[in-house]
Structure 1
Amino acid sequence: MRNAVKATAVECQESHDLCRLAQFWYVALLVQVGELDAGWRALDAIKTRRDAPESPRVAAASHAVRGKLLFAMGGIDDAIAEIEVGLRIAERSGVRPLLAPCYTVMALGALRRADMRVCFDFVDRLAVEALLGYFGQAAGAWVTAQAVESRSGVASAADLVSGIVTSPFVLRQLLVSEPAAASWLVRISGKLDAPDLAEMSVAAAFAASDEHPRFRVIRGSALHAAGLLEGDSGRLREAADLYPDRWCRASALEDMAGLLAKRYSEKDKAIRVLESARGAYNAVGARRDASRVVSKLREFGVRRGAVRTVECADILPHGLTKTEFAVADLVSQGYSNDEVGRQLFISRHTVAFHLKKVFQKVNVASRVELAATWKVR
């Protein structure tokens, strides 16, 4: 970070690409460590100094960094719009170093919006970048593991998770760049019955926090992971208060509610905390996460509406409801009823009920027919 500050302090009168790119590199570092207000100030400062036509590299970096900043602040839709522009420029101009970071944000954004078609499109692009030697992004491996677990279950992501946690360089890079990663690694390690991986993740998260004591987001990430591992709701509350990222804060609250729910006397408090998490997820457009919380609230007898759907038009084809549309879209991609239920946080029996309605409305008799005739966008 000190080197980045020094680089941006140098005044360049000729507006070289590398000098401009150093400014965006600095903003990207500020976003990475959760200094979001400082990131906006630095980005605005770059804007006021523009006095020459932008090269494709600079233009692509400008949109990509702005998108990453918007994403961290919870504006998923605006972030994706910015990154799409940056990607078009980068792909057209051959600016390969920007592709993997942009693909990662696009895949993660699609995952949070429950748009699995788009998510796996970008996961596939990440795989191509890895084959071509341009991957090098721990965050890309992490979002790929999330997508694989979401589609095929936790066991299918075991090797990816183990590879991330047991590689000190990859794990360190991930924990200082993605505040949501440490808690996810602990959560999935628990599902895999791999306490050693969870403990390694927490130890690495605290090591990162000790190495960067001034950054609250890294401390919050470590506390979140430790609170999950130790079953300590106090640490989860502290993590939620430290996070500048609204999605991460909602995640810590959701995990906190899970611990409170285990104690009957804390049921009402658990419901209130879940409601806060649901509101935060909805506020940042994380439809998939909001749906998961709605499912948990339903277990308490609290019914709340949520949009369980991929991105789709306001007027849906064939008179489908939004849930029917989501079921049809996933089934058309080859997902089983169990897998669809896991995506939408409904039972496989409910999936079968909606699928029957889809067949009637679309006028098909089988999943194969549906896949052959289904078109989105």
Structure 2
Amino acid sequence: MDLVRAKIALCDGRIDEAISLCDTGMAVADDPVLASWASIGSMVRAITAMRRGELATMIHHANQIKEDVIFGREGLWGRDTFPWNSPAWLVVQIIEAEKGWEVAVPLARGLLTSESSARGLLLSEPSAASFLVRILLRADDRETAERGRRCAAVLAAENPGIHAIATAALHLEALLERDISLLQQVAASDCDERTRSSANEDIGDLLSESAGGFRQACMHYETAMRSYADAGSPRDSSRVRSKLRRSDAPKTAARFWPSSRISVLTDTEYAVAELVASGLTNAEVGGQMYLSRHTVAFHLRKVFQKVGAKSRIELAVMWKQLTGQDLDVASHG
């Protein structure tokens, strides 16, 4: 059935295919005989809307799922045909997107506190575990997070042929141990695009906390940002972009680039000048330094004033000499 195939495509991170299959399946589900299948379609539509940042659409379909339960159309939510806690997992995602991670903590805790609940969720939505554990670790609830890890490890041992569960167990181990090498294994694994993206984001988070790790963190953030976008999740891509721009421009430049080797130039001015001298446009410089083109142009004007260059070409010609010796501030006013 197209709705089941849509759910599988969604789990694999194939958002566009999931939407297309869901639309086809929902048209068939209009038949009263097949109406109970519409709950799967509502869930797929809610999750795809959330990943695209379409919160109003997400809430609309989430409310449809609630109506299915209230009015007894929950046949496919039973244990025999569909994981009973899938709606709860969807609710956690919706609350986190709409109201923030703090509000989602109690529900996240509930899904991993019970062993049967955790097992059911890991078997149906293996990638859900890392999302829940991140929320719990942010709330300093390591005990419940550890329960999730133990459950994932047991399931991975019981199901050695299910790669998604093994990857989920490895991801939880990496998060709880703050182990970048394990996260790198997840990011390089043959799993779905979304899991690899989240692993790269996790690596970026850990590296950004360490002294001197910001440049490497940015590389992983950029990989995650592109991968989320390719997987049809602009909301996640936007979140990672905000992490790249979290620091103000001078602080970011100071951490990302070497200290100025020319005393009259600030670190930011030095970084801008070095990139311009190497032939980059203002837009390209801005892309590398996470500055707007207007900010780059402002810093470049300051560089011209301080070093006496009248053009980009002149700056490029004189740059090697400038970086080989210090400048006399007085000689350029």
CA offsets 1:43-101 (integer angstroms, 9 cap, x no match): xxxxxxxxxxxxxxxxxx1x113323432343312311211221221233332552333
> Which structure has the bigger radius of gyration?
2
Corresponding residue for 2:30? 91
Instruction: Name the % identity.
Output: 32
Query: Could you tell me whether the CA contact under 8 Å between 2:4 and 2:40 is conserved in 1?
Result: no
Counterpart-to-counterpart distance in 1, 2:57 and 2:94 = 11
1:299 counterpart SS class: coil
| 1:226 corresponds to 2:178 | no
Count of matched residue positions in the alignment of Structure 1 and Structure 2: 242
Stretches of structure 1 lacking an aligned partner (at least 5 in a row): 1-60, 304-377
Counterpart-to-counterpart distance in 2, 1:210 and 1:194 = 25
**Matched AA of 1:92:** D
CA offsets 1:262-300 (integer angstroms, 9 cap, x no match): 112222211111111111011111000000111111136
Q: Which residue among 63, 66, 80 is the counterpart of 2:19?
A: 80
**Matched AA of 1:141:** A
Corresponding residue for 2:138? 191
Query: Quick check: 206-215 or 132-141, which moved more?
Result: 132-141
Corresponding residue for 1:128? 67
Counterpart-to-counterpart distance in 2, 1:108 and 1:232 = 29
Stretches of structure 2 lacking an aligned partner (at least 5 in a row): 79-83, 254-333
Counterpart-to-counterpart distance in 1, 2:208 and 2:185 = 18
Counterpart-to-counterpart distance in 2, 1:72 and 1:145 = 17
Query: Could you tell me whether the CA contact under 8 Å between 2:7 and 2:40 is conserved in 1?
Result: no
Corresponding residue for 1:109? 48
1:261 counterpart SS class: helix
Q: 1:173 to 1:97 in 2, by over 3 A?
A: farther
Corresponding residue for 1:329? none
Query: Could you tell me whether the CA contact under 8 Å between 1:179 and 1:248 is conserved in 2?
Result: no
1:158 counterpart SS class: helix
Q: How far off is 1:245 after superposition?
A: 0.7
Q: RMSD over aligned Cα, in angstroms? A: 2.0
Corresponding residue for 2:231? 284
Query: Could you tell me whether the CA contact under 8 Å between 1:165 and 1:200 is conserved in 2?
Result: yes
Counterpart-to-counterpart distance in 2, 1:142 and 1:288 = 18
2:245 counterpart SS class: helix
Query: Could you tell me whether the CA contact under 8 Å between 2:167 and 2:191 is conserved in 1?
Result: no
Query: Could you tell me whether the CA contact under 8 Å between 1:100 and 1:140 is conserved in 2?
Result: no
TM-score, normalised to structure 1, is 0.60
Q: How far off is 1:160 after superposition?
A: 2.1
Counterpart-to-counterpart distance in 1, 2:229 and 2:137 = 27
TM-score, normalised to structure 2, is 0.68
